Amino acid sequence: MTSSELFQKIQQKQSFLCVGLDSDLAKLPGHLKSCEDPVFEFNKQIIDATHQYTVAYKPNIAFYESRGVEGWLSLQKTLDYLRKVDPELFVIADAKRGDIGNTSSMYAKAFFETMDFDAITVAPYMGVDSVGPFLEYKGKWVIMLALTSNKGADDFQFLRDPNSGDRLFERVLRKGMEWGSKDTLMFVAGATRAEMLADLRKIVPEYFLLVPGVGAQGGSLQEVAKYGMNEQCGLLVNSSRGIIFADKSENFANVAAAKAKEIKNEMTVLLNEKGIV
Amino acid sequence: MTSSELFQKIQQKQSFLCVGLDSDLAKLPGHLKSCEDPVFEFNKQIIDATHQYTVAYKPNIAFYESRGVEGWLSLQKTLDYLRKVDPELFVIADAKRGDIGNTSSMYAKAFFETMDFDAITVAPYMGVDSVGPFLEYKGKWVIMLALTSNKGADDFQFLRDPNSGDRLFERVLRKGMEWGSKDTLMFVAGATRAEMLADLRKIVPEYFLLVPGVGAQGGSLQEVAKYGMNEQCGLLVNSSRGIIFADKSENFANVAAAKAKEIKNEMTVLLNEKGIV
């Protein structure tokens, strides 16, 4: 999928919502726990209820990996189900991988061959050869951490280079642009620092940004659009807990649908205001 | 295991060798490919052949994850086998994980509960709350990336803070010392930049360093010991391909044993020269 194709999907659905499948077994509605695979059953119902409002899903790999082999089986079934429901959904493995070249090649194989994700989140600390192997897959995307939404972002990401004046997250953007293109690379930029998206846009005006942190983490969708939206939208905004765990009764999927619809409707307004739907 | 206990093991075995189980299915000796689980069979024979010369093993998770559920089964069997052969071996999940707090908690659960590793490698980019959840496990270790051995290390790790004068990898060391102690935290420091270990030692004189890059990546054991060894050794030096893929015939395990023994003997000399065995 190219960035233009992704933009077309956003226009068609009038939404740039990504639903995060942080499907923590311990937090599932009680009535699902007797199912053979409660996590898959939960994901399936969430997907059925929300896919008309979304362009993307983002399984958070930690929540599957923590359950060992069973978790990986739930993940594969979830991916298969997403492909069945709508082959054009953009599916992101939120895995934050990254290692030396021959090892990153193996991670790329895991998420782009063994499993058929469209994109994977990657940590930049180890530099070019840790990211490059993921970029070798045609039609696949790397989503590199730049400015994250968590407290610990302050520890390293704002370190400023005295020569260029760039902060670490800005150097990550510049290096990323050397390694990939706007059709192969996106950046993670947290919604809890929405006004900073303007700083990112100075460096990467045309790239897609994956924005976590709206909802449970406190970020505002309006602020994200104000500072981060470009002429081709250029945003995928993720919400996880605010949708999937909005309700824990037998009615959870309906409540998730209502929450996703609410965000989608806000997004439609924002896209209209920008004049791109 | 505390750092003193690890030092005792090093003294007993006169070795600070870690064998990296980067067990790439495509590179295994041909005669193993008809086994039910070729990767486990390979690891088992490598472990049998080398464990008397080593204090640690480091499965590289990418090589298992890339094979999906089958890979995770090979990994679990390998871990179980290591515990059976010698419960006091120090076993590191080389996973380079790291995410926001509640997600890192899930990764910690994956490697410290679902699987019973002693340590995990962690990427620092997302800061304190991405590392903290791993440090909450009593008796377990976090091994944080500081200065890596690959080409891409130059992209970000040398960014210098104009206020403190610290480079990024040095700030990682200082932050790590705020978050953990020498009994819970180690740092990755690549052997291909051995003389730089002296710079690390100025900041973390007492911490263990996990040093990859000896052998196939070109680092020298003598140089690593010269610049990195402290009074309690303070080093785990990893070799992967140089041992496990030294030979690809039916004789591979004997050759691996000979390679491991050769390195162990060099280590014994170095420990003797330092007067700590």
Say how many CB pairs under 8 Å bridge A and B.
183
B residues 205..244 contacting A (CB < 8 A): none
A96, A111 contact by CB (below 8 A)? no
B residues 16..35 contacting A (CB < 8 A): 22, 24
B166, B192 contact by CB (below 8 A)? no
CB contact under 8 A, A123 and B171: no
Reported as a pLDDT band with limits 50, 70 and 90, residue B145 is: very high
What are the residues whose beta carbons fall under 8 Å from the beta carbon of B205, sequence distance 6 or more? B230
Report CA A209 to chain centroid distance, whole Å. Answer: 9
Residue B160, chain A, CB below 8 Å: the answer is yes
Smallest Cα distance from B69 to chain A, Å: 6
| C-alpha torsion sign, points A79, A81, A82, A84 | positive
For residue B168, which residues of chain A lie inside 8 Å, CB to CB?
156, 159, 168
Shortest CB distance from B67 goes to which of A60, A99, A114? A114
Residue A156, chain B, CB below 8 Å: the answer is yes
CB contact under 8 A, B104 and A62: yes
Q: Parallel, antiparallel, or unpaired: how do β-strands B185-189 and B209-211 relate?
A: parallel
- In this prediction, residue B217 carries a pLDDT of 66
**Please, what is the average pLDDT of chain B?**
96
Residue A277, chain B, CB below 8 Å: the answer is no
Rounded CA gap, A24 and A47, in Å?
A: 16
Q: What is the pLDDT of residues B66-121, one digit of tens each?
A: 999 999 999 999 999 999 999 999 999 999 999 999 999 999 999 999 999 999 99
Say yes or no to pLDDT of B221 above 90: yes
For residue B149, which residues of chain A lie inside 8 Å, CB to CB?
100
Residue A246 has phi, psi (to 5 degrees) of -65, -25
Q: Which of B65, B171, B173, B244 to mutate to test the interface with A (most CBs of A within 10 A)?
A: B65
Say yes or no to pLDDT of B25 above 80: yes
Shortest CB distance from A123 goes to which of B98, B102, B160? B98
Say yes or no to pLDDT of B162 above 90: no
- In this prediction, residue A20 carries a pLDDT of 98
Reported as a pLDDT band with limits 50, 70 and 90, residue B219 is: confident
Residue A177, chain B, CB below 8 Å: the answer is no
CB contact under 8 A, A98 and B123: yes
A221, A198 contact by CB (below 8 A)? no
Nearest-CA neighbor of B142 among B100, B91, B185? B185
Instruction: Give how far Cα B57 sits from Cα of A224, A238, B44, B240, Å.
Output: 45, 38, 12, 10
Q: What is the pLDDT of residues A101-151, one digit of tens each?
A: 999 999 999 999 999 999 999 999 999 999 999 999 999 999 999 999 899
Instruction: Tell me if residue B21 falls in helix, strand or coil.
Output: strand
CATH 3.20.20.70 fits B3-273, yes or no: yes
Which of A7-16, A45-54, B215-224 shows the lowest per-residue confidence on average (mean pLDDT)? B215-224
Nearest-CA neighbor of A32 among A21, A18, A46, A19? A46
A96 is catalytic: yes
CB contact under 8 A, A96 and B98: yes
Rounded CA gap, A193 and A202, in Å?
A: 15
- In this prediction, residue A215 carries a pLDDT of 72
Q: Which of B77, B96, B261, B274 is catalytic?
A: B96
ipTM of the complex: 0.96
Smallest Cα distance from B52 to chain A, Å: 27
What is residue A23's DSSP assignment?
-
B14, B268 contact by CB (below 8 A)? yes
B111, A67 contact by CB (below 8 A)? no
Residue A98, chain B, CB below 8 Å: the answer is yes
CB contact under 8 A, B62 and A106: yes
Reported as a pLDDT band with limits 50, 70 and 90, residue B191 is: confident
Domain boundaries, chain A: 3-273
Strand partners, B17: B237
Rounded CA gap, B117 and B94, in Å?
A: 10
Residue A8, chain B, CB below 8 Å: the answer is no
Smallest Cα distance from A36 to chain B, Å: 18
Closest residue in chain A to residue B22, using alpha carbons only:
A103
Rounded CA gap, A166 and A133, in Å?
A: 26
CB contact under 8 A, A124 and B156: yes
Say yes or no to pLDDT of B215 above 90: no
Task: List, as one string, the DSSP characters of A129-179.
Answer: HHHHHHHTSTT-EEEEEEE-SSTTHHHHTT-B-TTT--BHHHHHHHHHHHH
- In this prediction, residue A236 carries a pLDDT of 98
For residue B112, which residues of chain A lie inside 8 Å, CB to CB?
none
Say yes or no to pLDDT of A78 above 80: yes
- In this prediction, residue B170 carries a pLDDT of 97
Say yes or no to pLDDT of B126 above 90: yes
Which amino acid would we find at residue A213?
A: G
Residue B189, chain A, CB below 8 Å: the answer is no
Report CA B75 to chain centroid distance, whole Å. Answer: 16
**A207: alpha, beta or left? (left if phi > 0; alpha if psi -120 to 50):** beta
Say yes or no to pLDDT of A217 above 70: no
For residue A67, which residues of chain B lie inside 8 Å, CB to CB?
110, 114
Which of A162-166, B58-62, B120-124 shows the lowest per-residue confidence on average (mean pLDDT)? A162-166
Residue A110, chain B, CB below 8 Å: the answer is yes
Task: List, as one string, the DSSP characters of B129-194.
Answer: HHHHHHHTSTT-EEEEEEE-SSTTHHHHTT-B-TTT--BHHHHHHHHHHHH--TTTEEEEE-GGGG
Smallest Cα distance from A22 to chain B, Å: 8
Nearest-CA neighbor of A236 among A246, A249, A221, A218? A221
Residue A123, chain B, CB below 8 Å: the answer is yes
Instruction: Tell me if residue B97 falls in helix, strand or coil.
Output: strand
Say yes or no to pLDDT of B177 above 80: yes
Residue B158, chain A, CB below 8 Å: the answer is no
- In this prediction, residue B50 carries a pLDDT of 98
**B129: alpha, beta or left? (left if phi > 0; alpha if psi -120 to 50):** alpha
A99, A126 contact by CB (below 8 A)? yes
**Please, what is the average pLDDT of chain A?**
96
Shortest CB distance from A153 goes to which of B68, B69, B126? B126
User: Token pair for residue B44?
Assistant: 């088992």
Mean pLDDT of B159-164: 90
Closest residue in chain B to residue A175, using alpha carbons only:
B155
Closest residue in chain A to residue B59, using alpha carbons only:
A103
User: Token pair for residue A35?
Assistant: 């199912």
For residue B154, which residues of chain A lie inside 8 Å, CB to CB?
127
Q: What is the 3-state secondary structure (H, E, C) of B194-237?
A: HHHHHHHHHHCCCCCEEECCECCCCECHHHHHHHHCECCECEEE
